[in-house]
Structure 1
C-alpha cells in the first residue's frame, strides 16, 4: 500500500514460500534465516500495555459521544499511530467475501497462481516484494499486490480470474474501503481541531492499492520473519485479518495510521 522510490519499483523472482512449505522441510533455507529476529517481536496479549486502542466509529457519528471518542482517536494516533476500528461501515459480507477469495487464491496450485505473476519492472502481481539482490534475506511470505483505485490504474491482466469471484469481490471491497478511509480521515482531521474538509476529500481520488499476504507454516518459525518491521509511506493503511495475523509489533508507524478492521 505504499508509494515506492524508483529503485524499488520491481522485485527479483524468488521461490514460492508456499511451495517450500509443501516440500515438508525440516530446516529453513539459509536465505530466510534471521537469527537476530528477537522472537519476531511477538508480545504477550495479556499485557495491557500492548492492547491496540479500539475506536468505535458509531460513537464518532453520535453527537452525544463524539467528543470523547475524538479524544480517544487523537490519543491513538499520537501515542500509537495505530488502532482497531469497529462499526466502520464496511459490510460484514464484503469482509467475509474478501477473506474467502484471498484464502481460495492462495490455495490454488502454484502453476495456476503463476498466471498472475509479477512481470519484469513491476511490483504488481503474485510473488514477493522488494527483493533487490540475490544475497538479500527474504521474508517468509508470498503475496499478490494490485492497484485498485482509481479504476484506470488497474492492470486487469494481473487481477486473478480464479477464483471466479475474485475480481468482483475486490472491486466491491475497494470501494467500501475508500468510503471508510474518507470517513476516518475526516474524524482524524476533526480530532486535530481542523475544519478544512479538503484533507478527507483528497482521499476520494487517492490511490488505493492492496497487498494480500500468505504466511505458510514454517519448520523453524523462531528463525524467520513473515514481514519485516516497516513504516508505510501511504496516507493511511488498513489491515484486514484473514485469520493469520500473529500479534502486532509495538513500534509506531511513521507516516500514517494503521487500522485493523
Structure 2
C-alpha cells in the first residue's frame, strides 16, 4: 500500500500547474437569466472601441495552405507557408486529412457539454490553483474587464499531465471525441513543424526535437449571444504563448479577427478547414522573421459560437532563444534566452493585453 500511495503522489507532482484564474460568473448563465442586459464589468472601455477598424475586404487575402501538397514536398506550397507566416502570422489549412466526421463529432460533443445544466458543468470547475477545467482564464483581478465567454481547458499531451477530474464524463461521447480530434490536430501540427524546420534552416525533424516532449493543451471556447455585441468582446486581443495553435472554427459563424495592416481582419470560416497561427515561441526561434499576431474573438446577437483551440508548446524545461540558423550576420539577436515554463507562467499571471507579455523576452535592441 505504501508503494502505491508514493507512486500516485509522484505522478500527481508531475502534473504541472502554470497559473490561476479567479472564479467568475458563467456568461452563458448571465444571458439565460437576462438576455437583455450586459453587466458593467463586461462593457469595453470607450478607447478600445474607438480603435476598431474592420478590414473585411482583406478576409479573402488570408493565405490558404494545402497540407497534402506541403507535406509531399511541394516547393511552391512551402513558399506559400513562408509568406503566410512572415506577412500574416495566420493561415487556413485545407486537405489536412482529418475526416469531416471527426471534426463534427468534437464540435457536437463540445456543444452538448455547454448545453448541460450549470450544476453539471460546475463539477469540472477550475481549482483555485490551476487553469485546467471549466471557467474563465486570464482573470487576475476583480477590477478588470471580463471577456464574454466561458471556456473548458484540458491538457491532452503528454498523457501523464492529464488531470482527468476536469475531463467531462457527460456527454458520454465527449472524451472519445476529444481524444480522436486531438490526436489528429497533433499530427497536423507536427507536419507544419516539419515545414517550418526547413524554412528556418534545419532538418525537418529538428523543431519537434527541440520541444523535448511536445505539450498540447485544448481550450474549448463558448461565446454566448449578446444583446449589444458592440459593447463586449469574446476574447481580448492577445498573441498565443504557444509554438503553433491549431483552431477549429464554427463553420457558420464568423468571430475570429486578426490584426493586419492597422486594422482587424475577420477570418471567414472555410468548410472543414483549420486555422493555424504562429505563436510566441516561433517568433523567438525565428528571431522575429515570423511574428505572433494579435487576434481577438467577437460575439454576435443571433447565435452562440464555439471554437476549439489546440496549443502546441515545448516542455517547460526547454530554453527558447533565436536559432543560429535564423540569425543573419547583419542582424541583431532580438530575444533573450528563457525557460519556456517561466515564460508561460509569466504570461498566465497577467490579463490579456495584446503582446505586452512578450516584453519579458525582448532585448533592448528590439
Q: TM-score range by the shorter chain?
A: 0.7 to 0.9
Between the aligned partners of 1:242 and 1:49, the Cα distance in structure 2 is 16
Instruction: Give the corresponding residue for 1:208.
Output: 216
Between the aligned partners of 1:204 and 1:92, the Cα distance in structure 2 is 31
Instruction: Give the corresponding residue for 1:187.
Output: 195
- Cα pair 2:106 2:177 within 8 Å, conserved: yes
Correspondence for 1:135 among 137, 140, 143: 143
SS in 2 for 1:195: coil
Between the aligned partners of 1:169 and 1:204, the Cα distance in structure 2 is 27
**Larger RCO, structures 1/2 (Cα 8 Å, 6+ apart):** 1
More strand by share: 2
Instruction: Give the corresponding residue for 2:48.
Output: 37
Q: 1:14 to 1:69 in 2, by over 3 A?
A: same
- Cα pair 1:39 1:222 within 8 Å, conserved: no
**Is 1:228 aligned with 2:236?**
yes
Correspondence for 2:110 among 99, 102, 123: 102
- Which region of structure 1 is more displaced relative to structure 2, 48-57 or 32-41? 32-41
Instruction: Give the corresponding residue for 2:130.
Output: 122
TM normalised by structure 2 equals 0.64
Residue 91 of structure 1: how far off its partner (Å): 2.3
Instruction: Give the corresponding residue for 1:16.
Output: 26
Between the aligned partners of 1:212 and 1:40, the Cα distance in structure 2 is 28
SS in 1 for 2:208: helix
**Where does structure 2 lack aligned partners over 5 or more consecutive residues?**
1-16, 261-276, 283-291, 294-308, 311-366
Residue 43 of structure 1: how far off its partner (Å): 2.8
Correspondence for 1:217 among 225, 231, 235: 225
- Cα pair 2:132 2:153 within 8 Å, conserved: yes
Residue 94 of structure 1: how far off its partner (Å): 1.4
- Cα pair 1:50 1:250 within 8 Å, conserved: no
Between the aligned partners of 1:247 and 1:61, the Cα distance in structure 2 is 27
**Is 1:68 aligned with 2:79?**
no
SS in 1 for 2:98: coil
Instruction: Give the corresponding residue for 2:64.
Output: 54
Residue 74 of structure 1: how far off its partner (Å): 0.3
Instruction: Give the corresponding residue for 2:258.
Output: 249
Instruction: Give the corresponding residue for 2:176.
Output: 168
SS in 2 for 1:250: strand
- Which region of structure 1 is more displaced relative to structure 2, 25-34 or 76-85? 25-34
Between the aligned partners of 2:34 and 2:53, the Cα distance in structure 1 is 25
Residue 129 of structure 1: how far off its partner (Å): 0.5
Larger radius of gyration: 2
Residue 174 of structure 1: how far off its partner (Å): 1.4
SS in 1 for 2:258: coil
Superposed CA deviations along residues 78-97 of structure 1, whole A, max 9, x for unmatched, are 11111101111222221111
Q: 1:253 to 1:69 in 2, by over 3 A?
A: closer
Between the aligned partners of 1:160 and 1:204, the Cα distance in structure 2 is 29
**Where does structure 1 lack aligned partners over 5 or more consecutive residues?**
1-5
Between the aligned partners of 1:58 and 1:32, the Cα distance in structure 2 is 42
Residue 19 of structure 1: how far off its partner (Å): 0.4
Instruction: Give the corresponding residue for 1:3.
Output: none
- Cα pair 1:42 1:246 within 8 Å, conserved: no
Figure out how many residues of one structure are paired with residues of the other and give that number.
Answer: 252
Superposed CA deviations along residues 174-205 of structure 1, whole A, max 9, x for unmatched, are 11111111111101222334325221345583
TM normalised by structure 1 equals 0.88
- Cα pair 1:148 1:208 within 8 Å, conserved: yes
Between the aligned partners of 2:96 and 2:41, the Cα distance in structure 1 is 40
